[in-house]
Structure 1
Amino acid sequence: MNNLHRLCLLLSLSLLLISVQSAELVPESESRTAYAVFDENNEEFVIVNHEPPRDKYVAGAKFTNSINQTGWANFEVWTNGNFPDTMQSKAAGFLEGYLTHELIYFSYLNTLQDYCQGRDGYCSKLRTFLSTNTKWVNKMYKKLRGKSPFWHQVGLFYEQMEGMATGWEKAAVNTGHSMGSYGFLWFNIFGDMEEFEQMFAPQQLNKDWRINKIGRRHMVASCSALIKVLPETSDIYTSHVTWNGYESMIRILKKYSLEVHQTADEDSALIPGHSMSFSSYPGLLYSGDDFTVISSGLVSMETTIGNNNEELFKYIKPTGQILEGVRSMVANRLASTGKEWTDVFGRHNSGTYNNQWMIVDYKLFKPGKPLRDGLFWVLEQLPTLIESRDMTDVLRSKSFWPSYNSPYFPTIFNLSGTPALVEKYGDWFTYDKTPRALIFNRDQSKVNDMDSMIKMMRYNDYRNDPLSRCDKCDPKYSGENAISARNDLNPANGTYPFHALSHRSHGATDCKVTSHQLMSSLDFIAVGGPTYDSLPAFRWSESDFTNLSHIGHPDLWKFQPVQTKWTL
């Protein structure tokens, strides 16, 4: 920012501050738009509730809490490229922390509040790891961001998180809410926690301990995904279904539009992924599901493959590595192609939150034309190893790519320890014979429009579908064995060969789909809550999970699909 700009800002700030109103909770289903102006005298951001002149505000945002109406809240933030990248990132985080304050607090109460209760030893080890890792990351990006696009974007991620904490605390002055000793980094490592729990508390994994309430769990499937080429290559649909604990169902559809540069040099080009929309959670700076539609023309998504090889945990270190969510957001910002995405994501691999990533490059898709090389890349990750490949040929030959928490690449499959699970439990842990693989293979040909795609992804007929059968279960089926799981419907007094198939507050908690036309405007269609296509809708008051915190949730989860509609 030049001196003349600073002077103009200071001269006008006193007038703008007259319109500043104190923090107010946003009434449900009502929208609020706010702007962040930087007060240089006090070196802090100030909330302004009407639109200032373009050159006066660093960022603007709109928030709508419509969870009881649609199953989703909506948050959109945009920044002003006339200001430095660091200031833009902090302002974007500040507005999100401030405007979504209440939902962040609800999510904390439902998923994180008691995470360390009775687990002091585990959490002490985790805090030490995170502290050491954060110090190393801060050192590296301050040293290298001036010339490295990768490290500049890492730095901006942490600065956006810093801004989010500041905005949340500003709102907390009026609400009195507190999240104790948990910082926003805890929200942003919910996937990495799967490995941390196995590393730092292996003796407790076999006890009655709700491992990682805000994320995944060892040996438990999480997420289904499908990429489907329509007949005559008229379109490609990219879809993702999150599987998670029902406590996590406070969800936000987000769009970030940040006018930041590839390096700290403001003369460098804007990042390819300057704008992106995604399904997410309160307090997260990335999707976490993951499902992201990006201005570069890419769509990135994943399903978790996990790591059951304990020998690999020794390679997870607090220095030299960057946690998964940070790397995924940096790749989303910097990459213009699927190959670039995999290259960026593979840097400083942490070996935590191990997933099968799928990257679709819609720039290479032309309706009615043959699929071009590079359109579809797949990456799988474990500690010490990342394998990626252009898999467009599979879409050409089969017209679809399914994903369901099983590694595809043989090297990853074998190194992950999955063969031992196959030997112990059978086909459920294989790549090609697990129930969802068989269901996708049988039913994907029925997809010919958006309605049939959503029906495919919300499918669960576990009592009647022979592919959902579980011979070692009593009764002989499981709501886990479907594209959209409903484990709450499994009998609590049933018997199951392993935990994933049992009665629990876990299942598919959403569905997202985009298409060639939708993604051109960074839009997608989303459905909130567990599937009810051929099943009763989930209702907290009729479940046996009412002792689980679900503050801020609607009682009945029965919502129709909604299409995103962004301000910008």
Structure 2
Amino acid sequence: MLKVVGASWQKTRIGTYILIGAGLLVIAAFFVAEMDRPEYDGTYCATALWTEKVGFQIEYWKQQNDLVNIPKGAARICYKDSIYQNGWAQLEIETQRSYPDWVQAYGAGILEGSLTWNNIYNQWLNTIGSACDKDENAQNFCTWLRDTLSANYLATKKRALARADHDQYWHQIALYFYQLEGLETGYIRGATRARSDLEEEIPFVDFLLMNSAADIQDLKIYYENYVLKESSGSQSEKNFFLPSATMFTKIFQTEASSGWQLLFGHSSAGSYSSMLRIQKRYKFRYHFSPDQRSNSVPGVDISFTGYPGILGSTDDFYIVKGRQVQSIVAGVTMRNENLELWKNIDVADAIPLTARVMAANRIAQSRRSWAKAMSRHPFTGNKQWVSVDLNKLNGLDGSQHSVDEESVPEVSANGLVWIVEQLPGRLHVEDVSNNFLSGNTTWVANGVPYFDEILEASRVPAENFSMDLPEGDDLTTLESVDKYLRLNGFRGDLLGDESVPYGNIDIKLFAFNSEIGVSDYHAFAGPIFMRFHHNQDDALTSESHVVVDLTTELEVITDRRPVRNDMRAIAMRQGSGPFKWSTVAERIPGVEHEGHPDVWDFDHVSPKWAW
């Protein structure tokens, strides 16, 4: 009897404990539900770990808010796909000096490919995939292009590895290819990890194609005029120049400040199918040679506007920082009517423009050495570049100068501004600092060569590219530069019966004040349209602005200014407003835009970097 009672009491006590425990869990659940849960903004991070025995291992950290404490490894990345929110994705990669350079490069490529694989696929589908299947001529060109780039890649990487120990330029070219190979590996890993059933695989040669976007137009001109001519016997010349981007550079003083200021504006021109955009920052701690005991390169920190799957800007806009380096590097396509310049060019020996620019950005201590690096292998890339040394601007004589037209500041700052202009096999580089500081302080680059030698060689009639500055040149704020670029831009989709899916697809604005040593940077994504700002101060530093229709003002502008001959019309004359795929798709059929927002009505973006 006692045993039975004792057993019952034991069961009762256990049941009581269970009830109490359940009650505590309910209470805990209530408190947990009331607690603030972490809110993530869609930033995903990962780390590439590497050892000689194991090789590469990738750790994915899912969504993160605490980016600073992401484990470093050989390389680490944080990526946010915010294209639908503001028109830009944002990607930041940092590598560590204690690892061999090829490990840094390959690891960075793996990380970028694995986190951005979906946008890489969409970018390839919208551009290379669709363009190469357009018709028989396109297929033939892409076949030749793939064969040419494959052979070029094998030969160039072999040459780069053989010379890397003794030539810092070639070492950087080799690292470019290591990063590209890692990108393909990461792309495959990312797609596999996501269990994605992609309709088509991207072959490695098409990664080469995407990263040769800046060269393809030149290669097509060469193909049509030299490769096909030999087989067809045709004597007609074919040039495929489309309206270029616009670049605005101004260095000046104001009466209110003794310091010098830089205003810089840049608009990219391209196909609307290419508008998957990324703000990238590569903080790569490479060395001057494969020997880890050699010094780190000056340009370790490079920010640029770019595209998925491409390891450089191709917009040609870079902000370069590092040990004793702070500079702006930017370029626009330059028109070339002299196709005879291609006669002596061996395209198999060409270095991809993106690889050349990134190598120059990294190894250049000064703007002179940047220009010198760019002078190597000037084959593809009809470009005019400007490179401004912000440290030199900081070091100018700070004394106040009169800003009236009759007073010329007596200032010399050799090395402040260099201009580099390239035609096939021709290149002119020059320090033009004093031109910018002696009254001619504003330069608008829009495809017309700056140097007489290059202008003569190009056979381009300069008068067809006039872009008059406002009377008195009152462009002294980022807002005024923004408006100027929009008024002088073009929208191919608004050309009525002549609609083409090609035009200005972004605006970048940069300012630097040497007196306080502060820079300001903003970027707008998508085909341009007129914005009218209502606020007390500079609209670009305020969240308050209103977009209104400026059709009447644009009609006045168009009547006053000659129309570009190569477009036949300024698209803006038919109105303003954001670009919308759903309203133009019927007018420009066959243009892929997978992964794009429908409406490109985005405000400016100023990236905030973690590292």
C-alpha change, 1:371 and 1:31, in structure 2 (3 Å) is farther
Whether the aligned pair in 2 keeps the contact of 1:60 and 1:78 (CA below 8 Å) is: yes
Tell me how far 1:286 sits from its aligned partner: 0.7
Q: Does 2:251 match 1:251?
A: no
Residue 185 of structure 2 corresponds to 166
Q: Hey, what's the Cα distance between the residues in 2 that align with 1:234 and 1:537? A: 35
Q: Hey, what's the Cα distance between the residues in 1 that align with 2:456 and 2:290? A: 42
Residue 310 of structure 1 corresponds to 339
Residue 497 of structure 1 corresponds to none
Residue 384 of structure 2 corresponds to 356
Alignment deviations for residues 370-418 of structure 1 (CA, whole Å, 9 cap, x no partner): 4612211111111221101111222122221110011122221222232
Higher radius of gyration, 1 or 2? 2
Q: Hey, what's the Cα distance between the residues in 2 that align with 1:261 and 1:191? A: 27
Equivalent AA in structure 2 for residue 155 of structure 1: A
Match of 1:409 among 451, 454, 464: 451
Q: For structure 2, which runs of at least 5 residues remain unmatched after alignment?
A: 1-39, 229-238, 400-410, 531-549, 551-575
Residue 379 of structure 1 corresponds to 420
Note the 1:143-182 alignment, pairs <5 A: 143-173=162-192, 174-177=195-198, 178-181=200-203, 182=205
Match of 2:244 among 194, 217, 222: 222
Equivalent AA in structure 2 for residue 236 of structure 1: L
Tell me how far 1:315 sits from its aligned partner: 2.5
Q: Does 2:226 match 1:197?
A: no
DSSP 3-state at the match of 1:201? helix
Q: Hey, what's the Cα distance between the residues in 2 that align with 1:523 and 1:147? A: 39
Tell me how far 1:41 sits from its aligned partner: 4.9
Q: Does 2:606 match 1:563?
A: yes
Alignment deviations for residues 115-146 of structure 1 (CA, whole Å, 9 cap, x no partner): 33223432332223212221221221111111
Residue 545 of structure 1 corresponds to 588
Note the 1:160-559 alignment, pairs <5 A: 160-173=179-192, 174-177=195-198, 178-181=200-203, 182-202=205-225, 218-232=240-254, 234-295=260-321, 296-349=325-378, 351-366=379-394, 368=398, 370=411, 372-396=413-437, 397-418=439-460, 422=461, 430=462, 433-435=463-465, 437-439=466-468, 441-442=469-470, 445-459=473-487, 482=488, 484-492=489-497, 502-516=498-512, 524-533=521-530, 534=550, 535-543=576-584, 544-545=587-588, 547-559=590-602
DSSP 3-state at the match of 1:268? coil
C-alpha change, 1:31 and 1:264, in structure 2 (3 Å) is same
Equivalent AA in structure 2 for residue 557 of structure 1: W
DSSP 3-state at the match of 1:160? helix
Tell me how far 1:448 sits from its aligned partner: 1.9
Number of positions where the alignment pairs a residue of Structure 1 with one of Structure 2? 485
C-alpha change, 1:546 and 1:375, in structure 2 (3 Å) is same
Equivalent AA in structure 2 for residue 407 of structure 1: P
Equivalent AA in structure 2 for residue 88 of structure 1: Q
DSSP 3-state at the match of 1:442? coil
Q: Hey, what's the Cα distance between the residues in 2 that align with 1:166 and 1:292? A: 26
Whether the aligned pair in 1 keeps the contact of 2:45 and 2:61 (CA below 8 Å) is: yes
C-alpha change, 1:194 and 1:110, in structure 2 (3 Å) is same
Residue 92 of structure 1 corresponds to 108
Note the 1:96-107 alignment, pairs <5 A: 96-107=112-123
Residue 11 of structure 1 corresponds to none
Residue 545 of structure 2 corresponds to none
Whether the aligned pair in 1 keeps the contact of 2:77 and 2:93 (CA below 8 Å) is: yes
C-alpha change, 1:444 and 1:93, in structure 2 (3 Å) is farther
Tell me how far 1:447 sits from its aligned partner: 1.6
Alignment deviations for residues 151-171 of structure 1 (CA, whole Å, 9 cap, x no partner): 110111110111111100101
DSSP 3-state at the match of 2:98? coil
Tell me how far 1:223 sits from its aligned partner: 0.4
Equivalent AA in structure 1 for residue 602 of structure 2: F
Tell me how far 1:56 sits from its aligned partner: 6.7
Residue 37 of structure 1 corresponds to 49
C-alpha change, 1:279 and 1:510, in structure 2 (3 Å) is same
Whether the aligned pair in 1 keeps the contact of 2:381 and 2:424 (CA below 8 Å) is: no
Residue 496 of structure 1 corresponds to none
Equivalent AA in structure 1 for residue 308 of structure 2: P
DSSP 3-state at the match of 2:473? helix
DSSP 3-state at the match of 2:524? strand
Q: For structure 1, which runs of at least 5 residues remain unmatched after alignment?
A: 1-27, 206-216, 423-429, 460-481, 493-501
Q: TM-score, normalised by structure 2?
A: 0.75
Whether the aligned pair in 2 keeps the contact of 1:63 and 1:73 (CA below 8 Å) is: yes
Whether the aligned pair in 2 keeps the contact of 1:147 and 1:264 (CA below 8 Å) is: no
Q: Hey, what's the Cα distance between the residues in 1 that align with 2:413 and 2:224? A: 47
CA RMSD between the two structures: 2.7
Identity among equivalent pairs (%): 29
Whether the aligned pair in 2 keeps the contact of 1:30 and 1:65 (CA below 8 Å) is: yes
Whether the aligned pair in 2 keeps the contact of 1:378 and 1:388 (CA below 8 Å) is: yes
DSSP 3-state at the match of 1:83? coil
Tell me how far 1:517 sits from its aligned partner: 5.4
Q: Hey, what's the Cα distance between the residues in 1 that align with 2:518 and 2:47? A: 23
Q: Hey, what's the Cα distance between the residues in 2 that align with 1:558 and 1:145? A: 46
C-alpha change, 1:274 and 1:82, in structure 2 (3 Å) is same
C-alpha change, 1:521 and 1:229, in structure 2 (3 Å) is closer
DSSP 3-state at the match of 1:285? coil
Tell me how far 1:361 sits from its aligned partner: 0.7
DSSP 3-state at the match of 1:336? coil
C-alpha change, 1:490 and 1:341, in structure 2 (3 Å) is same
Tell me how far 1:193 sits from its aligned partner: 0.7
Whether the aligned pair in 2 keeps the contact of 1:149 and 1:263 (CA below 8 Å) is: yes
Equivalent AA in structure 2 for residue 226 of structure 1: F
Which sits farther off after the overlay, 326-335 or 167-176? 167-176
C-alpha change, 1:58 and 1:113, in structure 2 (3 Å) is same
Alignment deviations for residues 10-42 of structure 1 (CA, whole Å, 9 cap, x no partner): xxxxxxxxxxxxxxxxxx961111111126555
Residue 32 of structure 2 corresponds to none
Q: TM-score, normalised by structure 1?
A: 0.80
